[in-house]
Amino acid sequence: MRLHRNLVFGVIDALNFIFNENEYADKVVEKVLKYDKRWGARDRAFIAETTYDIVRWKRLYTEIAEVKAPYKRADLFRIWAVWAVLRGIELPDWKQIEPTPTRRIKGKFDELSKIRKYRESVPDWLDEMGEKALGDELWTKELHALNEQADVILRANTLKTTPIKLHDILLELNVDTEFIKGYPDALKLKERSNVFTTQAFKDGLFEVQDASSQMVAEFLDVKPGQRVVDTCAGAGGKTLHLAALMENKGQLIALDIYSRKLAELKRRAKRAGAHNVETREIDSTKVIKKLHNSADRVLIDAPCTGLGVLRRNPDAKWKMQPEFLEKITATQKQILSDYSKMVKPGGKLVYATCSILPQENSEQVKTFLESEEGKDFALVQDKNIYASVEGFDGFYMALMQKK
């Protein structure tokens, strides 16, 4: 593999922004890829994939490189050199790269790989908490699965096409996909490619959405003509799926505390041809009170630690602090208590997170059902989705019905 200096320098810049400036990896990669318009698809893929790879294995690589934060530029080159050696890439003779003890790197890798927190590259506190929450065996398997690169999964927009038609359309565009058993609208890319540039995407025929995430809207059991509220809609991945399942009939109210996310949702809904979506910013408690006892279905896709989606957001494990779990579980409890009041008698509620921790999931639901606000609800079913079992993102969802 021939290494180009400007591409490696791009990776070093990206690592500096992520590790030293505490910026988000996805935004950093987007920014760095704009450096040089002449970079082709392979150049861009090298920068993005190398950056994410080093972020994912940060603890292991920094331990081998014997460097500590804050990282000087020379330290970042040392980390990159460890990555290259472990991938069997011959190091170039550049002044930025000191003589690298290849054998020592491999020896240290073998030694550290025997210890889970180094092998799977997680902070001590997270490793201890995960083992306590899930048990040694499941946590070990789950950590390993969450370090795998995530597949690219599409959801066919059934307002405009079918999964079979979409498969054929994409094939004509040289994008080969396969169906996933048990996921009715999902297609998996056989090879990674930038599907956002295709005409099929511009025409709103699909969204990029993980298979586990696609199960949430299905779980809510919506019907055309109902009043459905998506309470933490964000940019609307699940909202658009709900609109498709409702066949554009009925009222779908998308709520969020961030107006910029709702603006993005509106743009996406227009492209998808989802006409029954109405956005409302939660700028006061009145927004929720107006909807009390009025909705057939309510989705609470709650803010969470995001531990189930570390494959996509590997920098989250370095940004997260132990006290965040306490803070976010308090937020989840409040949201469940407040937003559940929108469900009318006989209506259904789904509480979902992209976390794998019981504290955010089954324990939250149990606390809610035992509370004053939850006493009229009964648990219909809940589901834990583990990356190590299903091969997709880690998720939790609980379906409850109001008496």
Interaxial angle between packed helices 237-245 and 211-219, expressed in degrees from 0 to 180 and rounded to the nearest 10:
50
- What is the model's pLDDT at position 97? 85
The answer to whether 299 and 376 have CB atoms below 8 angstroms apart is: no
How deeply is 41 buried, as exposed, middle or buried, from its count of CB atoms within 10 A (0-12, 13-18, 19+)? exposed
pLDDT of the chain, 403 residues: tens digit per residue: 678 999 999 999 999 999 999 999 999 999 999 999 999 989 999 999 999 999 999 999 999 999 999 999 999 999 999 999 999 999 888 888 877 788 999 999 999 999 999 999 999 999 999 999 999 999 999 999 999 999 999 999 999 999 999 999 999 999 999 999 999 999 999 999 889 999 999 999 999 999 999 999 999 999 999 999 999 999 999 999 999 999 999 999 999 999 999 999 999 999 999 999 999 999 999 999 999 999 999 999 999 999 999 999 999 999 999 999 999 999 999 999 999 999 999 999 999 999 999 999 999 999 999 999 999 999 999 999 999 999 999 999 999 999 9
- What is the model's pLDDT at position 100? 75
Percent of the residues in the chain that have a pLDDT greater than 70, as a whole number: 100
Count CA within 13 A, CB hemisphere, residue 344. Answer: 10
- Residue reference for tokens 């189930």: 308
The answer to whether 121 and 148 have CB atoms below 8 angstroms apart is: no
The answer to whether 186 and 214 have CB atoms below 8 angstroms apart is: yes
- What is the model's pLDDT at position 92? 87
Note if the pTM is more than 0.85.
yes
- What is the model's pLDDT at position 172? 96
